[in-house]
C-alpha cells in the first residue's frame, strides 16, 4: 500500500458496545458469506450451495488450463504441477466436516465485530483429491523445515495489511496421510466458491486452514509470521495480546430445529406430542463419544442415541425422543463430548475475535 | 394455529428507527439466505452456490420417486404427474435472470425490517424444464378461470398466518410460452435449495413468483387472496395500505466492483490508471437498451458499451473505460434503461416493505 492515502478500511479488531446492534460492515459480510441452513443437518453430505462459505476477499476466477501449483522453498526439487498432472496422481475421497473458526461469534457478549455467524458455519462434504505428503517427499523437504505456507489466489487488505490469503501449518501436520489437495466435492469439480481448481483439505482443523484457490506451497525454515497465523486466527483476550493459535475444531452438537419456522424470527412452532429430535455432532480432536440433550434449557440432560461411526473427521448423527407435553416456550439444547474428553461448555468461552467458540446450541421452540 | 398461545413471532411489517442498526432477526435471515457476491457478475451464467437464494421457511427435502404434481381446480381433467412423466414432455432451456423483490431493502431510509438485502439478490441461470401452457390446455382450463395458484411444499408462519408458500398469477401470464416447470439448472438436476425436484420459472417476474418445491397448481375463478399476493409482495406506503402488487423486475445495472476489497468494510482499492469497468444490467419489462456510468457519484454520466443481445430475460453485459486519475475516494455508479422507457431512479423509491427498489448502484472505491 502507498501510505499517503487515508485508508477508509478496517484496522484493529473491535467488539461492539453492549447495546450495539449488527453493523452495516457485518451485514455486508453476512450478505455474501452464508451458513448452512440448519434443516440441512438432515443430510449426511451437505449439498453444494448449502455448505457454509467464508471468503475473505473476492472469489477469484482461475483459468484451469493455465493454473499451476508450485511447491518450493526449502525443498531439494521444486515442483510445478498442472491440473492434469495432479489428477493423474493417486485419488482418494474423504468425508470431512468443515467449520469456520468464527462460528457462534455473533452470539457472544460483547460481540466481536467481524463475519457475524450464529450457529450455522458448518458443512460436511466428500472431498476428492490426492494426498499432499507424497508430493512433498518427492520434492525432498529439507531437514531444516519448520512450517509449510499455503498461498491462495485471493487478494485483499485486512486491518491495513495487503495480502494474498496465506496460512501455514507445522510440517508434521502437513505430512499426515489424510491431508489432501482436493479438486472435487461431492463428485463434482470444485465450484468457484469452494476453491476451484484446487484447495487444501486438512481434516479436523477449522476452515481458515483449508486454503482455497491454492497456487503455492512453500516450505520454510522458520515459524510463519503472516497475518492469518500471527494476528487473525488466534485466541486473545485483548486485541493487542499475542494470543495462542486457533487449530483444531472444538466439539459441537447442533439440533435440527423441529417443527416449522416463523419467517422473521425463525422461532420454531412444534405440535404437542412425541418428536424424534435429530442432529449432528463433531470434533476435530477425537471421535464424538457422547451427545446429551436437554428439553428444559439445560436444567436436566439425557443421553442421545448415537448413529453409526462416521469417517474420522465427519459429523456423527444422533437422535433423541422428546415428549413435547406442555404448550408454551421451551429451549432445546445439545452438547457433545469427544473421546479426548473435551465437552462443550455451557457458559460461552469469550475471546476478542470470537474464535473457536463452542458454547452449547440452544433452540427456542413454541409447543402448541 | 391454536389461538391460546401468545406467539413470539413476527406480526406487522415495521421499519427500523432512524438510528437502529441491523437487528438479530435480520441477521438470522441473512445468515441463511445469501446474495450473489458481486465479483460473480463476471459470469454469463451464475454457478450453483453463487446464485442468490431466499427461502421463506425451511428448505424441504422431497422424495423424488413419490413426488407428484397435481393440476386441479377449475379444469375439465385434473392431472397428476410424476417426475418421469414431466421429464418425458418437450424440454426447453432458457437463460433467465432472477432477482428478489426485496433487493436493496437494507439500504432504504428508514429501513424495512425483513431479509436485509443490499445489492446482491440476483443471479442468472440456465433453467431446463417443460412449458406449462400445454399441460394446462391438456387439463382444459374453465372459461371462468381468473388466477392460477402455485403451491410449494415449504411450510411456515408469517405475520401470524400459518401457510404453505403459495403465489398466484393471472391466467394470461401463466399461459405465456416461456413459463416453465423446471427440473434442472445449469445442466444439473435442481439442488434442494433451488426447489428440487420441480419449480416454476416465470421469466421477467421477481423471485416471489418462481415457486420452489412445487406440488400443486390450482386454477381458480376469483382473484387469489392468499398472504403472499394480498399482503406480502405489495408496494405500500404504510403497513395497512392495500397497496399494489409487485410484478415484473424493474431495470437495474450492477457494477462489478473493480480492484480488491478490504475484508471488513468491502471498500475497493484500485490502482491509479485505466480500468475496464464491467457489469450487467437487466429488466423484466423489456430489453435493456442503455447503461450509463458515472465515476463522480452521479454528477456526470457516460454511455457504456453494451454486450450482445442476451436471451429475452437474461442480463446484458456492459463495459466502460475508466481513467482512475485522482488518488482518493470515488463513487462509481451505473444506471439502466429498458426499451419500454423505464430508467433507474437516482433517488430511492421508498415503500414500507422495501419492495422493487431499484435505485442506482453506488460503489465506493479508493484510488491509490
pLDDT tens-digit map of A90-129: 999 999 999 999 999 999 999 999 999 999 999 999 999 9
At A352, phi and psi to the nearest 5? -70, -20
- Is 80 exceeded by the pLDDT of residue B353? yes
Do A261 and B48 lie within an 8 Å CB cutoff? no
Model pLDDT, residue A336 = 98
| Residues A203 and A313: beta-carbon distance below 8 Å | yes
Domain B24-245 of CATH type 3.40.640.10: no
Residue A279 CA to residue A334 CA, distance in Å, equals 9
Average pLDDT, integer, range B119-145: 98
Nearest to B329 among A8, A55, A113 (CB): A8
Model pLDDT, residue A13 = 74
Per-residue pLDDT tens digits for B169-227: 999 999 999 999 999 999 999 999 999 999 999 999 999 999 999 999 999 999 999 99
Residue A29 CA to residue B37 CA, distance in Å, equals 10
Per-residue pLDDT tens digits for B248-292: 999 999 999 999 999 999 999 999 999 999 999 999 999 999 999
Pick from A362, A297, A367: which is nearest to A327 by CA?
Answer: A367
Nearest to A118 among B31, B191, B193 (CB): B31
Q: Which of A40, A154, A262 to mutate to test the interface with B (most CBs of B within 10 A)?
A: A262
Q: Which of A155, A157, A163, A365 to mutate to test the interface with B (most CBs of B within 10 A)?
A: A157
Per-residue pLDDT tens digits for B53-107: 999 999 999 999 999 999 999 999 999 999 999 999 999 999 999 999 999 999 9
**B363 three-state secondary structure:** strand
Residue B10's pLDDT band (cuts 50, 70, 90): low
Sheet containing strand A305-306, strands side by side = A252-255, A273-282, A316-324, A305-306
Average pLDDT, integer, range B349-365: 95
**Inter-CA distances, A105 with A120, A210, A275, Å:** 11, 20, 30
Chain A residues with CB under 8 Å of B157 CB are 260-263, 269
- Exposed, middle or buried by CB within 10 Å (0-12, 13-18, 19+), for A311? middle
Nearest to B191 among A37, A49, A257 (CB): A49
Residue A257 CA to residue A279 CA, distance in Å, equals 8
Residue B110's pLDDT band (cuts 50, 70, 90): very high
- Is 80 exceeded by the pLDDT of residue B332? yes
Model pLDDT, residue A184 = 98
**Inter-CA distances, A191 with A64, A216, B105, B195, Å:** 12, 20, 29, 20
Model pLDDT, residue A1 = 32
Nearest to A10 among B4, B28, B263 (CB): B263
Model pLDDT, residue B5 = 45
Pick from B7, B56, B329: which is nearest to A328 by CA?
Answer: B7
d(CA A303, nearest CA chain B) in Å: 27
| Residues B270 and B365: beta-carbon distance below 8 Å | yes
Mean pLDDT of chain B: 95
Which DSSP letter does residue B231 get? I
Model pLDDT, residue B8 = 52
Three-class HEC string of chain A: CCCCCCCCCCCCCCECCCCCCECHHHHHHHHHCECCCHHHHHCCCCCCCCCCECCCCCCCCCCCCCCCEEEEECECCCEEECHHHHHCCCCEEEEEEEECCCCCHHHCCCCECCCCCCCCCEEEEEEEEEECHHHHHHHCECCCCCEEEEEEEEEEEECCEEEEEEEEEEHHHHCCCCCEEEEEECCEECCHHHCCCCEEECCCECHHHCCCCEEEEEEECCCCCCHHHHHHCEECCCCCCCCEECCECCCEEEECCCCEEECCCCCEEECCEEEEEEEEEECCCCCEEEEEEECCCCCCCEECEECCCCCCCCCEEEEEEEEECCCEEEEEEEEEEECCCCECCCCCCCCCCCCCCCCCEEEEEEEC
Exposure letters B235-245 (e unless 16+ CB within 10 A, then b):
bbeebeeebee
Domain ranges of chain A: 24-245, 252-367
**B161 three-state secondary structure:** strand
Pick from B42, B304, B27: which is nearest to A192 by CA?
Answer: B42
A258 Cβ neighbours under 8 A, 6+ residues apart: A268, A270, A275, A277, A322, A332, A363, A365
Chain A residues with CB under 8 Å of B62 CB are none
Residue A181 CA to residue A79 CA, distance in Å, equals 14
Helix (H) or strand (E) holding B358: none
Do B260 and A156 lie within an 8 Å CB cutoff? yes
Beta-bridge mates of residue A123: A98
Looking at the domain that runs over A252-367, which CATH code has it been given? 2.60.40.650
Model pLDDT, residue B3 = 38
At A228, phi and psi to the nearest 5? -70, -30
At A133, phi and psi to the nearest 5? -55, -45
| Residues A290 and A320: beta-carbon distance below 8 Å | no
Q: Which of B5, B22, B30 to mutate to test the interface with A (most CBs of A within 10 A)?
A: B30
A60 Cβ neighbours under 8 A, 6+ residues apart: A152, A153, A154, A155, A192, A213
- Is 60 exceeded by the pLDDT of residue B6? no
Nearest to B30 among A27, A39, A329 (CB): A27
**B228 three-state secondary structure:** helix
| Residues A230 and A208: beta-carbon distance below 8 Å | no
Average pLDDT, integer, range B131-159: 98
d(CA B353, nearest CA chain A) in Å: 13
Model pLDDT, residue B13 = 74
Do A263 and B56 lie within an 8 Å CB cutoff? yes
Average pLDDT, integer, range B143-168: 97
Cell, residue B175: 399461459
Please calculate the CA angle A172-A186-A320 and round it to the nearest 5 degrees.
Answer: 90
In which residue ranges of chain A is pLDDT below 50? 1-5
Instruction: Report the interhelical angle of A24-32 vs B24-32 (nearest 10°).
Output: 20
- Is 60 exceeded by the pLDDT of residue B20? yes
Cell, residue B133: 401452457
Residue B116 CA to residue A29 CA, distance in Å, equals 12
Amino acid at each position: 500500500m502507498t501510505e499517503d492515502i487515508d485508508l477508509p478500511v478496517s484496522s484493529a479488531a473491535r467488539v461492539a458496545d453492549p447495546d450495539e446492534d449488527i453493523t452495516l460492515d457485518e451485514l455486508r459480510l453476512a450478505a455474501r458469506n452464508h451458513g448452512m441452513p440448519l434443516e440441512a443437518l438432515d443430510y449426511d453430505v451437505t449439498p453444494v450451495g448449502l455448505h457454509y462459505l467464508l471468503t475473505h476477499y473476492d472469489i477469484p476466477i482461475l483459468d484451469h488450463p493455465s493454473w499451476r501449483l508450485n511447491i518450493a522453498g526449502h525443498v531439494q526439487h521444486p515442483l510445478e504441477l498442472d491440473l492434469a498432472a495432479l489428477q493423474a496422481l493417486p485419488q482418494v475421497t474423504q468425508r470431512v466436516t468443515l467449520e469456520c473458526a468464527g462460528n457462534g461469534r455473533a452470539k457472544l457478549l460483547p460481540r466481536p465485530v467481524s463475519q457475524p455467524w450464529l450457529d450455522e458455519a458448518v458443512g460436511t462434504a466428500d472431498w476428492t483429491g490426492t494426498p499432499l505428503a507424497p508430493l512433498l517427499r518427492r520434492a525432498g523437504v529439507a531437514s531444516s523445515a519448520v512450517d509449510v505456507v499455503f498461498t491462495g489466489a485471493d487478494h485483499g487488505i485486512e486491518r491495513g495489511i495487503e495480502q494474498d490469503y496465506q496460512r501455514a501449518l507445522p510440517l508434521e501436520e502437513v505430512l499426515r496421510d489424510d491431508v489432501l489437495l482436493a479438486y472435487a466435492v461431492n463428485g463434482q469439480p470444485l465450484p468457484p466458491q469452494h476453491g476451484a481448481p484446487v484447495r487444501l483439505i486438512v481434516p479436523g482443523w477449522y476452515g481458515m486452514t483449508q486454503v482455497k484457490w491454492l497456487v503455492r506451497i512453500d516450505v520454510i525454515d522458520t515459524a510463519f509470521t503472516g497475518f492469518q497465523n500471527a494476528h487473525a486466527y488466534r485466541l486473545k483476550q485483548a486485541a493487542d495480546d499475542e494470543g495462542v493459535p486457533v487449530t483444531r475444531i472444538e466439539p459441537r452438537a447442533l439440533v435440527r430445529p423441529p417443527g416449522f419456522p416463523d419467517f422473521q424470527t425463525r422461532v420454531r412452532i412444534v405440535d404437542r406430542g412425541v418428536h424424534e429430535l435429530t442432529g449432528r455432532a463433531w470434533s476435530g480432536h477425537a471421535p464424538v463419544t457422547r451427545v446429551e440433550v436437554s428439553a428444559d434449557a439445560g436444567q436436566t440432560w439425557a443421553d442421545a442415541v448415537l448413529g453409526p461411526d462416521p469417517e474420522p473427521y465427519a459429523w456423527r448423527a444422533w437422535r433423541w425422543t422428546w415428549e413435547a407435553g406442555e404448550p408454551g416456550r421451551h429451549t432445546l439444547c445439545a452438547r457433545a463430548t469427544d473421546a479426548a474428553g473435551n465437552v462443550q461448555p455451557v457458559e460461552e468461552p469469550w475471546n476478542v475475535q470470537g474464535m473457536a467458540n463452542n458454547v452449547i446450541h440452544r433452540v427456542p421452540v413454541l409447543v402448541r
